[in-house]
Amino acid sequence: MFGYYLDLALRSLRRNKVLTTLMILALALGIGASITTLTVLTLLSGDPLPQKSSQLFYPQVDPYPKDRPFSRSGEKVPWLLSYVDAMNLIHAHKAERQAAVALSQVKLTPQVQGEKSFYADGVLTTADFFPMFDTPFQYGAGWTAADDESRAQVAVIAGFVNDKLFGGANSVGRMIRIEDHDFRIIGVLGRWAPQPRFYALHLGGRNYGKGEAVFLPLQGARAADVMPSMMMSYGPSSDMQHLETSQSIWLGLWVQLPGAADVSAYKLFLGNYAQQQVALGRFQQSRVALSDLMSWLRDQQVVPDDVRLQAGLAFGFLLICVVNTVGLLLAKCLRRSREIGVRRALGASRGAIFAQFLVEAGVIGLAGGVLGLLFVLLGLWGIRHQPAPYASLALLDVQMFVFTFVVALVASLIAGLLPAWRACVVAPAPQLKAA
């Protein structure tokens, strides 16, 4: 039966080519726009570390004075920590792993004669960064907590830096000159660039894009006078020469808490810590926050507004295309009342007529889906050639490929429902009489 309906649908669509083209084109444009923007949206709001994100948490405390709060409304807890608070929380060892993070622009000087110095993105962090975030190593490994304490001048470099400076060879043990100090390379990372770059939020870097070039131990790098990119002061003694003791926030802290019990225990610890600091007179408020990775990204609205706006708009566009298709299909089927009357008189049931018209709508949907896919590829190609930091991520994955056809079929079947229903309630007798 399905084959017969398909044949009828194709005949009917061929009979009015302009209209068929119009319906398919409109649907394809709607699909193209909505799937393109949806692809970008899902890429940007994706989980940067799917295997780990539920265990990663971002603690915050509030060292700001009450009369000069961090945010104008006074509601937001400061995004970053001061050095003292970050170190206190790390040294308490209340989580399975913990790492403080700051970003920096660092000057790299190649040891080869004639090669020019250049600036690269760097991460200043502590030992647990690598095991906590499951960073893949090509050669060597990260540093230890002991290296942190001894202010060791060691470095982990990204694969692309290793390719550039050492031709991809194992460079562990070689020296690299950073900000006019020699650092010993102890590890080379493989490809690692989680998107969004959750650990970089509010640290003065980009939220998307390729990963950093070098990773340095926080204390060792500070001993070499490497400065963080982002620093906000909350009090008068915010001397930039002595960041470690200054009243300024410039570090993000991540902790790994494997179970629900660990989370509630850490919350308790964090609350107690803040109260203790209030008692010591360091804090005026004992407000704290502990967000898991995904809610941290959501609360900080890491996805650009423009991208969300475009996605919303694209689905409005698709809705109009569907309404348009409903109208045209309806007109078409009402015009075929006579043909329906004949088919009904010859014994076709209402269900059969209904199915026949839905098949016709489905064929349009499928064709719209194929053409829409072309528009999606075109749209993503366009986005990849834009200067946005997330541009290179805009690729179609298998899920979205399948989803394109699902959306196309569902949209066209919804569009076909009303016309098909109207067709199947046509009374055969008057139609035959009129003929």
Partner 1 sequence: MMLQIKPILSALRRHKAGALLIGLQIALTLAIVCNALFIIQQRVAHLSAPSGIDEANLLVIQNDWANKWTTQETDVQVRTDLVALRQLPGVHDAVASNAYPMRGSGWDQFITLTPDQTTPTGDASVYLGDEHFLDTLGVRLVAGRNFRPDEVHPIGNRENVMSPVTIVTKTLADKLFPDGEALGKSIYAMTSTPTVIVGIVDVLQTQSLANWQMKHAYESLIWPLRAASGTGIYYILRAKPGQLAAVRKEAVKTLYAQNRMRIINNDGGVLDYTQIRQRAYDSDYGMAILMGIVCAVLLAITAAGIVGLTSFWVSQRRKQIGVRRALGATRGDILGYFMTENLLISLGGVLLGVVLAIAMNLWLVTRFEMHRLSMFYVLAGVLLLLLLGQGAVLAPAIRASKVSPVEATRSV
Contacts with partner 1, residue ranges (CB under 8 A): 19, 22, 26, 29, 33, 67-68, 105, 107, 109, 116-119, 180, 227, 239-241, 305-306, 308-310, 313, 316-317, 319-321, 323-324, 326-328, 330-332, 334-335, 386-388, 418, 422
Name the residue nearer to partner 1 (CB basis): 132 or 201. Answer: 201
How far apart are CB 177 and partner 1 at their closest, in Å? 11
**Closest CB to partner 1 among residues 51, 301:** 301
Looking at the Cβ atoms of 265 and 391, the one nearer to partner 1 is 391
CB of 55 to partner 1, least distance (A): 31
| Shortest reach from residue 355's CB to partner 1, in Å | 20
Nearer to partner 1, 83 or 273 (CB): 83
From the CB of 419, what's the least distance to partner 1, in Å? 9
Least separation in angstroms between residue 271's CB and partner 1 is: 28
Closer to partner 1 by Cβ: residue 279 or 320: 320
Q: HEC string of the chain?
A: CHHHHHHHHHHHHHHCHHHHHHHHHHHHHHHHHHHHHHHHHHHHCCCCCCCCHHHEEEEEECCCCCCCCCCCCCCCCCCCECHHHHHHHHHHCCCCEEEEEEEEEEEEECCCCCCCCEEEEEEEECCCHHHHCCCCEEEECCCCHHHHHCCCCEEEECHHHHHHHHCCCCCCCCEEEECCEEEEEEEEECCCCCCCCHHHCCCCCCCCCCCCCEEEEHHHHHHCCCCCCCCEECCCCCCHHHCCCCCEECEEEEEECCCHHHHHHHHHHHHHHHHHHHHHCCCCCCCEEEEEHHHHHHHCCCCCHHHHHHHHHHHHHHHHHHHHHHHHHHHHHHHCHHHHHHHHHCCCCHHHHHHHHHHHHHHHHHHHHHHHHHHHHHHHHHHHCCCCCCHHHCCCCHHHHHHHHHHHHHHHHHHHHHHHHHHHCCCHHHHHHHC
Least distance from partner 1 to the Cβ atom of residue 365, Å: 16
Closer Cβ to partner 1, 334 or 429, answer by number: 334
